[in-house]
Structure 1
């Protein structure tokens, strides 16, 4: 009997009035080439129905649009704008470019990539709300924010998600995860398997003993820890490898004991 591998095995999570499986795909390394198109199509075959990208990622949006449009019903594509300039004028330009590249009439989840220190957050959020009122975006999220900034944004418009760097060794946003859990705001950890400055090796080292005991790749333990950390966490590991894609999804059925979870959480 062949092994069943599906993002659906991780359960589901609500993004506003949208529902997605609880392991998604990050696409910061996706380009507009055949191999990348095939990986995206394979992700859908494996039950991934949440794909995260950004205007800042270069060819990623165009690659997604060319590979997957017209989109399957139930597939949620999230993108981000305002990485270096969150003025209303620049956000509109980036949003219009994202819509064109993704071949969509409306972005399912549009996230402010970074808070702009030169522009009041209320001004930025009012701009996003106006785009939402126009029907160009369905839901609004934030990226790399504090609890205070999230609360400030929530005074202007409903926020359905927050995307901050977070993993088993990078825990600086614990208070934000707890706030999101309390308020049922989806928390999307970027670099869930580690990232720059040797963090990937540090994550692997942190979970190595448990991965060896369970005889599974370290990435599965790191992702399972996130899934157990809070029911509102939606990991989006990125990869260019179909084999790694399948390995990531196997985290959904991994059994991580409370003892092992606690050992990683301390």
Structure 2
């Protein structure tokens, strides 16, 4: 039977099916109120892993989650990411792994999330303009100071993972990955071998588009199981490896409930065989947005 929980870093237990908060609107008004309800409903449904980042509204998403969920339920992990900043000159977002920027974003995340320690912090992207040792060294210093519990990375290669592991203990990797987009298969394999949590973002991409033979096959499997294409995609991910912790995002409670229910969906060996072959039918193009 597929395990429903995983211990990040070997000791931080969470339910494997999490929630990505990126899509939640944060502007004042009805949309924000709806976002608060979605975040609270996720916890009510038993979600214990929620993903956010400084990039999502320059910290506004972190503040939204704190407003919705603080004081946090026992066992709830809200993980955030740093390393992308808005230029003071152009106003555009870009990679910024300078140690002083990372330290500032961590301090702001602690304040916004109303915690004294971030149990899991991920480097949003590796900045090629800053030595990796400097970026991870700054985060390791924050870890030593007790402000960060565990460290992870996002959108990395196997070579970058190996380099990072020579500097820090890597607890998690957050790469783009789904039933129809398996570009980072080798990274997942490396994480599985090392017991590192693998958080796929955009985990249901293309599943319900109906624009490809692969999407049509997912829909066919879903119809046979009385499920939705998104649920089939999430169930496949949960079965794919015990280190996979999908973080599907939505701003709608009905979609949230649909996603969470995927944890109870059981695929037969025949369904697995059909779905495993779908990567050969073509994968969607690389998305422009960052998770």
The alignment's TM-score, normalised by the length of structure 1, stands at: 0.92
Cα distance between partner residues in 2 of 1:133 and 1:109:
14
What is the deviation of 1:205?
3.6
Matched, 1:98 2:101: no
One of 217, 223, 229 as aligned partner of 2:234: 223
What are the ranges of 5 or more consecutive residues in structure 2 without an aligned counterpart?
A: 27-31, 85-94, 278-291
Aligned to 2:288: none
1:22 and 1:138 map into 2 onto residues whose CA distance is 19
**Superposed counterparts of 1:54-203, under 5 Å:** 54-58=53-57, 59-83=60-84, 84-194=95-205, 201=209
- 2:35 is aligned with 1:42: no
Question: Which digits, 9 at most, give the CA deviation of each residue in 1:206-258, with x for residues without a partner?
Answer: 51110121121111000011011101000000011111111111111112111
Change (3 A) 1:250 1:117: same
Please give the alpha-carbon distance, in whole angstroms, between the structure 2 residues aligned to 1:51 and 1:109: 11
Q: Pick from 5, 13, 18 the counterpart of residue 24 of structure 1.
A: 18
Q: 1:120 Cα shift?
A: 1.3
Equivalent-residue separation in structure 2 for 1:254 and 1:208 (angstroms): 15
Q: Deviations over 1:148-174 (max 9, x none)?
A: 101111111101100000001111111
Any idea what SS the aligned residue of 1:140 has? strand
| C-alpha contact (below 8 Å) 2:207/2:230 kept by paired residues | no
The answer on whether the counterparts of 1:10 and 1:21 sit within 8 Å (CA) in structure 2 is no
**Residues in 2 aligned to 1:31 and 1:10: alpha-carbon distance in whole angstroms:** 32
For these two proteins, the number of residue pairs brought into alignment is: 255
How far residue 23 of structure 1 moved from its aligned partner, in angstroms, is: 0.5
Displacement of 1:199 after TM fit? 7.5
8 Å CA contact 1:141–1:160 kept in 2: the answer is: yes
Residue 268 of structure 2 is matched in structure 1 by: 257
Q: Report the CA distance between 1:31 and its aligned residue.
A: 3.4
Give CA deviations for 1:171-218 in whole Å, capped at 9, x if unaligned.
111111111111100000000011xxx676267445111012112111
Deviates more, 1:131-140 or 1:206-215: 206-215
2:162 aligns to what SS in structure 1? helix
CA separation in 1, counterparts of 2:104 and 2:264? 42
Summarize the Cα distance change of 1:95–1:175 in structure 2 as closer, same or farther, 3 Å threshold.
same
SS of 1:80's equivalent in the other structure is strand
Higher helix share: 1
Q: Distance in 2 between matches of 1:254 and 1:66?
A: 32
SS of alignment partner, residue 37 of structure 1: helix
Q: Which moved more, 1:163-172 or 1:256-265?
A: 256-265
Query: What TM-score comes out, normalization by structure 2 length?
Result: 0.84
Q: Deviations over 1:82-111 (max 9, x none)?
A: 021011011011111111111111111100
CA contact (8 A) 2:97 2:135 kept: yes
- Residue 29 of structure 1 contacts residue 60 of structure 1 at CA under 8 Å; is this kept in 2? no
Contact 2:207 2:233 in 1 (8 A): no
Residue of structure 2 equivalent to 1:243: 254
Structure 1 gap ranges (5+) = 1-8
